[in-house]
Structure 1
Amino acid sequence: MRITLVAGARPNFMKIAPIIEAIKKKQDKGFQISFRLVHTGQHYDKNLSDTFFEELKIPHPDINLNIKSGTQAQQTAGIMIAFEDELNKHPCDLVLVVGDVTSTMACTIVAKKAGIKVAHVEAGIRSGDMQMPEEINRIVTDSLTDYFFTTSCYANENLQHQGIDKTQIFFVGNVMIDTLKKHESRFSPPEFWYNFKLKPQHYFVVTLHRPSNVDEGKQLKNLITNIVKFSNNLPIIFPVHPRTRTMLTDLNLNFDNLYFTSPLGYLQFNYLVKHAFAVLTDSGGITEETTVMNIPCITLRENTERPETCKLGTNRLVGTDSDLLEKAFNDLFSKNWPHGQIPELWDGKTAERIINHLIEL
């Protein structure tokens, strides 16, 4: 079996790494399974791409399509053209895509038009928010996928409501947690840990990149100002996504306890998360990691495609409502935050289950 693995953006790399490891274990046991790793280049900041291959011990990609930035349509078209050429030159039996970024959708379309089966890891998750580009990516990808690997019962239900046959759906758990569990002992403090005099459980971590939060200056300024206002003057560490950096430059947000940093590698960022008092984010993947590490998480979105992190985990949705945000902070400081549970099969063995299913299929 020849598998083409597609990685395009930061979360993809954390999902691809354990899948490659699981394939290699099968190769060592004599199974006829091989992979070709394609990096579309959708994320091109070194700290959002190359660093992950080094830190997570992923082989460097067989090819980088070097698509880089552009509008949604430009990126999608560029990826499709380049990936079509890639598949013509290097045929395979299966294309495996992960997550919900533009690369996931674009490469799925190309593979299906080429008559190649597609496996989607993290299939079936839905936010119900069609203003999110990722939601469109999920719906299109899952309308074409052949094999659906899911993280939760909620994802299974979404797919069944879509009319997907149960025989195509495989509940395997969360491959992101495979990576987290494998590398947790290697987490290391960033250099600024000492410069900022950070102490465990005495600072916040903030990440923002959703268009609804960062593309309009007034909205972004209000959000950050409220976070600072409710923080009780604890340090706030904000690794700035490239999408957000441009907007922040014009806002002149100067607060004594607010620290903007460059994007961090996986090991350093998750060290920050593991030792934080709480995390504020609009990232779905981070809500999964905080759930497993039992770190309180405030999600600055109106909805989530990962409801298990709220119903079982440590996550709470507040959107952009300042009253809800203030209440969340009050609950944190009064130690009124619930202890979460780890969802079923988030046990570090998801990639192994995925590859076992593919070999059986």
Structure 2
Amino acid sequence: MTKKTIVCVVGARPNFMKIAPIIKALKKTQEHVSFYLVHTGQHYDQAMKASFFQQLDIPEPDIDLEVGSGSHSEQTAHIMLRFEPVLDKVKPCAVLVVGDVNSTVACGLVAVKKAIPVIHVEAGLRSHDRQMPEEINRVLTDQISDTLFTTERSAHEHLLKEGIESRRIHFVGNVMIDTLRANLEHAIAFTETLKNYDKAQPVKVGEYALLTLHRPSNVDDPRTLTRLLLSIAGISRKLPVIFPIHPRTHNQIKQQGLLDVISSPTIIGLPPVGYLQMLGLMQSAKLVLTDSGGLQEETTSLGIPCVTLRENTERPITVEQGTNTIVGTDPEKIQACVDDILTTGGKSGRIPEYWDGKAAERILAEIKRIYL
């Protein structure tokens, strides 16, 4: 059998946790298939990238396209221009993309234009909010993909409604949970993280909230950002809040003159943290407040109550079966949800189907059947 190559693409932080178990699975079957790892450089913090690759045991990429920052159009265009020569050189049997970032759709478009099959991991998720750039990326990537791997049953229905043939859709589970389960025992204790950043505080396990905030709809609108931070300040008077601050969010907080709002000693601001640090922070939290899609899934797997600071979610299973509650940006709804968790413990939830740490194995089995 002639050995074939699959080009695997990562671009931004959420991709790293999704590609890690797939690369691990591909390594086990290299007698028939090799992988060529492309990092587009969409996530341009080199220190953070190195941290994630090391912590998740991802090999150094075969090539880094180093596209850096820019508008959505600029970033997508630069990725496409730099990715095409890679395909001409490698001549893969397929291109595998994950998630919903600009790198996902850009590399998918280049591949399909060159008649190379596209494999999309985490297909079919829909928020039904076309104002979200990620939603556009999801829809377009699914339309040009040959093989679509889904994380939950509702994704299958979305794809069928959009004209995708059932034979191309495969329900395999959630690779994010593969990574979480594989790394639970390696999570870095939240106390160590606080100590490393000289933020040591008398905070106990299960007696703090973890906050992440990065979506443009939340941080780019001054009124929305102010409303959210004032809500967090109110919550911090009842429960300390640990807040790893995304660079984009920090810039907006500074520009809008809102640093004083989060200057309370019960709001513990941190720089962005690595995966194992974030896992430790999550594990020991009383609750998580976030606008991240990945954290909605991870908190459901961990059984930690999640308060989602968005009006919608592309991961409805985390609400229907998991620990997630959608509250939007209304301060009263946020406070009411937090108060309920503090009083009752919040939603207990259950682990969704196929969130068992074996999604990558199922993906590899389908890839071998279809492409090898």
Would the TM-score normalized by the shorter structure come out above 0.5?
Answer: yes
The answer to whether the 8 A contact 2:236-2:267 is kept is: no
Which residue in 2 is equivalent to 1:264? 273
CA distance in 2, matches of 1:299, 1:158: 22
Which residue in 2 is equivalent to 1:3? 6
Alignment of 1:111-260 (within 5 A): 111-189=111-189, 190-193=192-195, 195-249=200-254, 250-252=257-259, 253=261, 254-260=263-269
Q: Secondary structure at the match of 1:157?
A: helix
The number of residue pairs the alignment matches comes to 358
CA distance in 2, matches of 1:91, 1:145: 18
Q: Secondary structure at the match of 1:122?
A: strand
Q: Secondary structure at the match of 2:242?
A: strand
CA distance in 2, matches of 1:300, 1:78: 32
* TM-score (normalizing by structure 1): 0.97
Deviations 1:90-129 (A, max 9, x none): 2111000000000000000000001100000000000000
Structure 1 unaligned regions, length at least 5: none
Deviations 1:268-312 (A, max 9, x none): 111000100100000000000000000000000000000000000
Deviations 1:147-204 (A, max 9, x none): 0000000101100111111110000000000000001000012431571232110111
Q: Does 1:310 align with 2:319?
A: yes
Q: Secondary structure at the match of 2:149?
A: strand
Deviations 1:12-48 (A, max 9, x none): 0111110011011122xx4x11100000000111354
Deviations 1:34-90 (A, max 9, x none): 100000000111354221110011100001000010001100000000001211122
Which residue in 1 is equivalent to 2:15? 12
Which residue in 1 is equivalent to 2:329? 320
Please tell me the residue identity of whatever aligns with 1:240.
I
Which residue in 2 is equivalent to 1:349? 358
CA distance in 2, matches of 1:215, 1:104: 23
Which residue in 2 is equivalent to 1:286? 295
CA distance in 1, matches of 2:127, 2:290: 16
Which residue in 2 is equivalent to 1:33? 33
The answer to whether the 8 A contact 2:237-2:266 is kept is: no
* TM-score (normalizing by structure 2): 0.94
The answer to whether the 8 A contact 1:231-1:329 is kept is: no
Q: Secondary structure at the match of 2:311?
A: coil
CA distance in 1, matches of 2:194, 2:5: 44
Please tell me the residue identity of whatever aligns with 1:267.
L
How many angstroms does 1:221 deviate by? Answer: 1.9
The answer to whether the 8 A contact 2:311-2:329 is kept is: yes
Identity of aligned residues (%): 50
Which residue in 1 is equivalent to 2:108? 108
Alignment of 1:78-89 (within 5 A): 78-89=78-89
CA distance in 1, matches of 2:233, 2:207: 14
Structure 2 unaligned regions, length at least 5: none
